Amino acid sequence: MQLDCTQTQDLMIVHVRETRIDAAGAIDFKDKMRDLTAASQCRVMLDLSLVGFIDSSGLGAVVAVRKSLGPDRPLELAALTPAVEKVFRLTRMDSVFIIHRDIPARADSFRDVV
């Protein structure tokens, strides 16, 4: 599971460089997200633009990451593809997460590969 990270002053954007978050990758995703987000206390946004498919295990992993961040640091999601949007909508998780249509454009200039 490859995750790249863009860090600005008040926002960490994690770019998922995979086409799927599924049962085979859910634990790895959770572990890597925990490692990445432990280093700072700022907001976290997940860039899902490359993720064309998520299953319920992947969804559970995203929920687990949100919970591990704590109530004061809500996980934000950005750039959901249609299949991913469908899974969030049908499980009503779209009402729980802050969802952005796009990732902030300026984030590209701060990219660091982790």
Partner 1 sequence: MSSNAIGGRTRIVIASDPLAVRQALCALFDRLMAGRMAEDARDTAQIVLAEALNNIVEHAYAQTPGEIEVTVDVSPGGLTCWIMDAGLPLPDSALQDTLLVQPQPGDDLPEGGFGWHLIRTLSDDLDYRREGGRNFLTFRISAQQYSN
- Enumerate binding residues for partner 1 (CB under 8 A): 20, 22-24, 53, 55-57, 59-61, 63-64, 66-67, 71, 74, 82-83, 86-87, 90-93, 95-96
Closer residue to partner 1 in complex, CB, 5/59:
59
Distance of CA 55 to the CA centre of its chain: 14
How many CB atoms within 10 Å of residue 99?
18
CB of 78 to partner 1, least distance (A): 18
**70: CB partners within 8 A, 6+ apart:** none
Closer residue to partner 1 in complex, CB, 15/25:
25
Residue 83's alpha-carbon distances to 54, 80, 87, in angstroms, are 7, 8, 6
CB of 9 to partner 1, least distance (A): 26
Helices (H) and strands (E) in the chain, counts: 3, 8
Closer residue to partner 1 in complex, CB, 58/103:
58
CB of 93 to partner 1, least distance (A): 6
